Structure 1
Amino acid sequence: MPSLLAVFAHPDDESLFSGGVLARNAAEGSSTAVVTATWAEGTHRGAELAEALRILGLSEKPRMLGYADSRVPESAPGSPRLCDAPLDESIGRLVGHIRQFRPDVVVTHDAYGGLTGHEDHVHTHRVTVLAVQAAGLERLYPEAGAPCQPRALYLATHPHSAVQALGDFAEAGKGMKTVPDEWVTTTVDVRPWLERKWAAVQAHRSEAERGAAPGLLAALPAEVREGILGTEWYIRQELPIPGERTPETELTA
């Protein structure tokens, strides 16, 4: 299995969107790590994140960019909200993690920011796409370490056809942001790792207590929850790997 670095906005996003893939990669002995854009070490959600990653089988401790959640200023005392931080600074911080971990594959939110379109999810997508490109360029962020070009970028998403299964979870799909089914390049059946994924979601206790996604999922029948969490969808973004492309002399579709 390829080494994998997942980059998500908040603690719990990693388990909800990619918990099955993370658990599978870790179980098969692949280097696997998570970067979380908001909240800080020493906060209660930082501790919950560490517990969730332990449950998923990751040996790496959480990597945190240290910005504040756009809706919870106290999530990173003394730091700006992720969406307010200078873009160049955010990209540089993430490039540092990419060059240090040197992943084959990076996973992050899709351009919608997932089903809810949360502004932190959307911005994390933007920062990650730019950082993955910048990480391979030696003259960008030279202070962040030696260049490293991941081989693939995958965007965690949901296709239109998933709306029916998600209906009980999100008011019959009202306002959910999904993509055309043909955009999905990778569909992963994560039911073999579902028990571990669900335990990781439940580790985010404060989110469950306030009625966010972990709490909403806990209130559903087990078979409905399995229908929601048992499949993960991704859009693969091709990246330029030196020597692996046929030279072209025209712009082609």
Structure 2
Amino acid sequence: MPSLLAVYAHPDDESLFSGGVLARNAAEGGRTAVVTATWAEHTHRAAELAEALRLLGVSGKPRLLGYADARVPDSAPGSPRLCDAPLDETVGRLVGHIRDFRPEIVVTHDAYGGVTGHEDHVHTHRLTVLAAQAAGLERLYPEAGAPWQPRALYLAAHPHSAVRALDGLRVTADDLWTVPDDRITTTVDVGPWLPRKWAAVSAHRSEARRGAAPGLLAGLSADVREQLLGTEWYIRQDLTSGGGGGETELRV
């Protein structure tokens, strides 16, 4: 299995958007890690993230950039909101993690920031696209370590055809940021990994208590949850040589 680094905006995004792929990759021996752009160490959500990664089989401590959530200023006391931090600074810090971990694949939000369109998700997409390319260029961010070029970037997305399944979350099509089906290059059946994925989502207990996605999902039947979480969709962008379409797994 390829080495895989997932970069997401908030604790719980990794489990909701890519929990199945992360669990599978780790279980089949692929080196797997997660960078989370917001929330500081020693906060309750950082602790929940650590538990979620353990349940997914991802070894090592969470990698936290430590910026503040756009909507929760006290998520990182003394640090700017992710969207307000200098772009060059945030990209450079992420380049450091890419060069340190040396992944073949990088996974992150799509340009819409996934179905919610959250501003932190959108900004994390932007900085990850820039960092994945910059990491391979030795004259950019030399202080961040020796250059390393990931082979592919996979953007987690939801196609228009998934809207009906999302009805269970009590949202309308106008609330969702989905992409045309023909933009999807990779559709992954993560049903075999759904128990681990759901356990990881459930580890984000504070989000469940406040009625965010983990809480909404907990109120649904197991069958509906499987319909919502049993497939993960991605848009592949090659960073080296070309790839194709119609994939059913992430590959280098």
Normalising by structure 2, report the TM-score: 0.95
The answer to which of 78-87 and 170-179 deviates more is: 170-179
Deviation string 1:175-221 (CA, Å, 9 cap, x unpaired) is 20100001000000000000000000000000000000000000011
Deviation string 1:59-85 (CA, Å, 9 cap, x unpaired) is 121000010000001101110000000
| Separation of aligned partners in 2, 1:130 and 1:139 | 14
User: Alpha-carbon deviation of 1:168?
Assistant: 1.5
Amino acid in the other structure paired with 1:189? D
Superposition pairs of residues 108-187 of structure 1, within 5 angstroms: 108-187=108-187
The corresponding residue for 2:76 is: 76
User: Alpha-carbon deviation of 1:146?
Assistant: 0.2
- State the secondary structure of the residue aligned to 1:136: coil
Structure exhibiting the larger radius of gyration computed from Cα positions: 1
The corresponding residue for 1:235 is: 235
**1:188 and 2:188 correspond:** yes
User: Alpha-carbon deviation of 1:39?
Assistant: 0.1
Identity of aligned residues (%): 79
The corresponding residue for 2:43 is: 43
The corresponding residue for 1:21 is: 21
Unmatched tracts of structure 1, length 5 or more: 246-253
Contact 1:164-1:172 at 8 Å conserved across structures: no
The answer to which of 65-74 and 173-182 deviates more is: 173-182
| Separation of aligned partners in 1, 2:163 and 2:173 | 6
| Separation of aligned partners in 1, 2:110 and 2:38 | 17
Root-mean-square deviation over aligned CA pairs: 1.1
- State the secondary structure of the residue aligned to 1:106: strand
Amino acid in the other structure paired with 2:90? S
User: Alpha-carbon deviation of 1:173?
Assistant: 3.0
| Separation of aligned partners in 2, 1:182 and 1:122 | 21
How many aligned residue pairs are there? 243
The corresponding residue for 1:203 is: 203
Deviation string 1:146-181 (CA, Å, 9 cap, x unpaired) is 000000000000000000111121424332010000
Contact 1:32-1:60 at 8 Å conserved across structures: no
Amino acid in the other structure paired with 2:72? V
Normalising by structure 1, report the TM-score: 0.94
| Separation of aligned partners in 2, 1:2 and 1:240 | 15
